Amino acid sequence: MRTEEAIQIFLDNCRARNLKPSTISWYWQRLARFAKHSPVLPNNVRPIENFLAGINGTAECKHSYFSSVRALYYFLESRYHTPNPIKDSNIEPRLYKKVMPTLEPDEAMRFLLTAGTLRDRALFTLLLDTGIRTTEAATLRQSRVREESVIVDGKSGELEVPISEETRRLLLAQVALIGPGDWVFPNGKGGPLSRHTVYKLVRAHLEAAKVPGPKLGGHRLRHSFGRGYLASGGDTRSLQKIMGHKDIMTTERYVNLGMKDIVAKHHRHTPLRLIHSAAQGVLFKNKAIEEAEAIITQSPETRKSSPPTRQQDRLF
């Protein structure tokens, strides 16, 4: 079978299953490159391995190509019982753990203060208050702003997300300013803002707030929400529901983001505290620290000529 034909069948199946256009486009962009590399669908792992070896970029980039090719082969195996050379092939690119970049509270405040329009203030506050994705915020409908929540079009369908009173007031003010319509954040042509437009807005204002890179996009705000929610006492189960994660393991990544809290706990509980306490207890009790400092500050000649005190005898 030609690779391009197999890909078209796979994408038709994606459309039949009503996958989102963005997901289908994601598959096509990566599989088209695979088809160019291997016009005839490989039935052994070596050409696939060679294809992945030629992908330059980050580990996440290479893994995305692997994921798309793997999805193709698993579909073909299920549909046509064709050999699946990826199974047990040990070619999955390794992903290394990274600390997700977030915003410190002062950085988030500086970011919000850069918003010069009501639209931008409402948009940025919504992102920081809910952790929703930029596309979900951009396509928020006026009719879906409720008393204590908003309903967004998430990756897996509609998602109801709680909002604070401050966010609700800003959203209602934005709707009152632009007048009745479909979208809270219209683009001026009848449709909603695009994901790319929101990304550029967020990036420009993060740069204006002197927030260091990398990752100056909407996902940084999303990560900041996840970390801040848990640091403020939230639990992973409710965070999973708010952020729309299918797998709790995805949510639990945010547990490791509260480095300031970890540092504070380390400072309180490091064994050095016990060692220092024990040492200080003995030394302070015998006034040894004061005598030791006095000895240190003496000149070598004075130190030699001075007879040791009883405390010094015990110290050395």
pLDDT at residue number 310: 46
Residue 210 to residue 109: CA distance in whole angstroms? 11
pLDDT at residue number 289: 52
Residue 23 to residue 240: CA distance in whole angstroms? 21
pLDDT at residue number 72: 97
Structural contact between residues 34 and 4, judged by C-beta atoms closer than 8 angstroms: no
Per DSSP bridges, beta strands 157-162 and 149-154 are antiparallel
pLDDT at residue number 137: 96
End-to-end CA separation in angstroms for the chain: 86
The pLDDT tens digits of the residues spanning 264-276 come to 777 776 676 666 5
All residues at 6 or more sequence positions from 284 whose CB lies less than 8 Å from its CB, including other chains: none
DSSP assignment of the chain: -BHHHHHHHHHHHHHHTT--HHHHHHHHHHHHHHHHH-SBPPSSHHHHHHHHHT--S-HHHHHHHHHHHHHHHHHHHHHH----TTTT---PPP----PPP---HHHHHHHHHT--SHHHHHHHHHHHHH---HHHHHT-BGGGB-SSEEEEEETTEEEEEE--HHHHHHHHHHHHHH-SSSBSSB-SSSSBPPHHHHHHHHHHHHHHTT---S--SHHHHHHHHHHHHHHTT--HHHHHHHHT-SSHHHHHGGGGG-HHHHHHHHHHH-HHHHHHHHHHHHHHHTTHHHHHHHHHHS-HHHHHHSPPPHHHHHH-
pLDDT at residue number 124: 96
pLDDT at residue number 236: 87
pLDDT at residue number 194: 93
Structural contact between residues 26 and 72, judged by C-beta atoms closer than 8 angstroms: no
Structural contact between residues 145 and 172, judged by C-beta atoms closer than 8 angstroms: yes
The pLDDT tens digits of the residues spanning 59-86 come to 989 999 999 999 999 999 999 999 999 9
pLDDT at residue number 99: 74
Note the maximum CA span of the chain: 98
pLDDT at residue number 227: 87
Residue 65 to residue 141: CA distance in whole angstroms? 34
Residues of the chain with pLDDT under 70: 256-262, 269-270, 272-316
All residues at 6 or more sequence positions from 248 whose CB lies less than 8 Å from its CB, including other chains: 236, 237, 240
The pLDDT tens digits of the residues spanning 187-235 come to 988 899 999 999 999 999 999 999 997 889 999 999 999 888 888 888 8
pLDDT at residue number 285: 52
Task: Kindly give the interhelix angle for 59-80 and 3-16, rounded to the nearest 10 degrees.
Answer: 80
All residues at 6 or more sequence positions from 136 whose CB lies less than 8 Å from its CB, including other chains: 152, 153, 154, 159
Q: What's this model's pTM, rounded to 2 decimal places?
A: 0.69
pLDDT at residue number 314: 44
pLDDT at residue number 96: 83
pLDDT at residue number 316: 37
